[in-house]
Structure 1
Amino acid sequence: MNALPTGIAEAIDPLVARVLAPNPSPYTYSGTQTYLVGTRELAVIDPGPDDPAHLDALIAAIAGRPVKAILCTHTHRDHSPAAAPLAVATGAPVIGCAPLVLQDAGPRADASFDTGYAPDRVLADGERIAGEGWTIEAVATPGHTSNHLCYALIEAQALFSGDHVMGWSTTVVAPPDGDMTAYMASLEKLMAREERVYHPAHGPAIEKPQRFVRGLIGHRKQREGQILRLLDEAVGEIPAMVERMYSGIDPRLKGAAGRSVLAHLIDLRTRGLVTEKEDGAWKKAA
């Protein structure tokens, strides 16, 4: 687990500092990492949970410098709720991903949605904002959520990858909003880019990102192959698939694993490879 203490601004690049929020959990690893970009004029990426101690730490790290933008990669509650109080404290606009509120009572392996997120401006794919010494480009990467954005820091050849590419675990893709087809396309999109390092919201920096992303694509294709082989064996119910695919998994995570399997099945159905039967089981398409 990341050894960085919470509430301390750590310089990780001449243009980037990182502050770890005190919200470790099974889905946040050591916590949400908030990034401060710039030296004299700042952007804040993924302000994190609405936690008073974390907000105080961010204000201390900002140290009175002007904040040009508060940017959120997406609107899960471990990423965006601190945007509003930080905007009040700094006078900065909230810019970035679109608002998204989804009522979802299913078994999750990540945080629920932030119902209070209200951006002053939504960035389109490829749109840029700039401050003194830095330029940030929005990179639309739907999949984990439909509103997920990564942010490329042009001067450092770095990408703030949010939850799309994490440094400690594969990304949760949970329907109805999580979309495996979109997620895989977003990974392929990143493969065509040339950033030298990724700074994820959870986990350590990724120093060879193209190789890392290629591994993520391979992992998902491996899971897809497992599902197709199980369908060949007439194992078409998701709970039975989870038992076979996730041997030894913590029982508390089986529901979330089932949603990942469902995301793969929906993608396979979109590609015409499987169909869902009337009883809810799945089979290969004829």
Structure 2
Amino acid sequence: MIPYVRDIKFEYGAVDQVSPLIRRVVANNPGPFTYVGTGTYIIGRGEVAVIDPGPDIEEHLEAILKAVEGERVTHIMITHHHIDHSPLAAPLKARTGATIYGCAVTKVVEDDGGVKTEAGYDMGFKPDVSLCDGGEVSGPGWTLESIPTPGHTSNHICFALKEENALFTGDHIMGWSTTVITPPDGDMSDYMDSLDRIRVREFDTLWPTHGPPVREVTPFIDAYIAHRREREAQIEQALAAGPSRIRDMVPVLYAAVDPRLHPAAARSVLGHMIDLVRRGRVLADGAPGPDSEYRLAG
């Protein structure tokens, strides 16, 4: 079982000092993909970085500016291009003159009219400085390292605060829920590799964009990985009975889940299927897709 962390105390629009170098302002955009809302982090004092300014909500912009009154925002750091993370970057830059850092969109995802499994895409996001391959930025008393973590999206980045051995995880690891991996922009193979990349760093604290921090880091990531491996084992067990399609497997695999959530679950299973086909453990009748027939290899 994943030891979820869901208890968080905050007031919308207020700034909280959550560690010696970190302040947090939570946007008033709660929902099924954002939990209580987007947690925008402010790093340092005097000359500061802002991580994931969030959705384009005027009240949240003003709350961030009030929190840094008398200071200078020099860096705007974006973990990825979902609409609950990056749209406020441009308005914040216009008001502060700060530079936007992140990784540009690499895959264009069309709205197919199907089930929504994340908040949506900010396709206009363009950083001033690319950190797709890693890198460091710094200010007075703080250093942020960019760690590419594709999986949730193709351009996802986590940011390590070296002075506190802490990691801002965006949506890569969330304390309140598992992370959605939705092809084609989401990629399960990349995601599992990225989890391993973070695990070996042995951070003391994870700061997700949504929800409270994770303090017991290694056991939490181990449980995250085990959850994914258990799901793929269930898929392979289901296929051991014979070839099948995702739409027929989901009601069995997710029998204890509200049927209204089954379409979203099917997208997650597709992510696993693509990964299993790539690894040669499952075969598909053609390119793996939502309507393909799958069978065990060998």
After TM superposition, the score normalised by the length of structure 2 is 0.93
Determine helix, strand or coil for the equivalent of 1:283.
Answer: strand
After TM superposition, the score normalised by the length of structure 1 is 0.96
Identify unmatched segments of 5+ residues in structure 1.
none
Percent sequence identity is: 48
Provide the residue aligned with 2:293 in structure 1.
281
Residue 150 of structure 1 pairs with residue 158 of structure 2 = yes
- Residue pair 2:80, 2:157 contacting (<8 A) in 1 also: yes
Aligned mates of 2:269, 2:14 — CA distance in 1:
38
Counterpart AA for 1:42:
V
Residue 262 of structure 1 pairs with residue 270 of structure 2 = yes
- Residue pair 1:99, 1:119 contacting (<8 A) in 2 also: no
Residue 108 of structure 1 pairs with residue 116 of structure 2 = yes
1:107-163 per-position Cα deviation (integer Å, ceiling 9, x unaligned): 222111102212111114441000011000000000000100000000011000000
Aligned mates of 1:184, 1:283 — CA distance in 2:
22
Residue 31 of structure 1 pairs with residue 43 of structure 2 = no
Residues 131/163 of structure 1: CA separation in 2 closer, same or farther (3 Å cut): same
Shift of 1:36: 0.3
Provide the residue aligned with 1:183 in structure 2.
191
Counterpart AA for 1:132:
P
Identify unmatched segments of 5+ residues in structure 2.
1-5
1:212-256 per-position Cα deviation (integer Å, ceiling 9, x unaligned): 111100000000000000001226111222111112323332211
Determine helix, strand or coil for the equivalent of 2:264.
Answer: helix
Determine helix, strand or coil for the equivalent of 2:50.
Answer: strand
Instruction: State the number of aligned residues.
Output: 286
Aligned mates of 2:105, 2:116 — CA distance in 1:
20
Greater length-normalized contact order (CA 8 Å, ≥ 6 residues apart): 2
Residues 168/235 of structure 1: CA separation in 2 closer, same or farther (3 Å cut): farther
Residue 61 of structure 1 pairs with residue 67 of structure 2 = yes
- Residue pair 1:144, 1:173 contacting (<8 A) in 2 also: yes
Aligned mates of 2:207, 2:87 — CA distance in 1:
20
- Residue pair 2:40, 2:54 contacting (<8 A) in 1 also: yes
Aligned mates of 1:264, 1:162 — CA distance in 2:
22
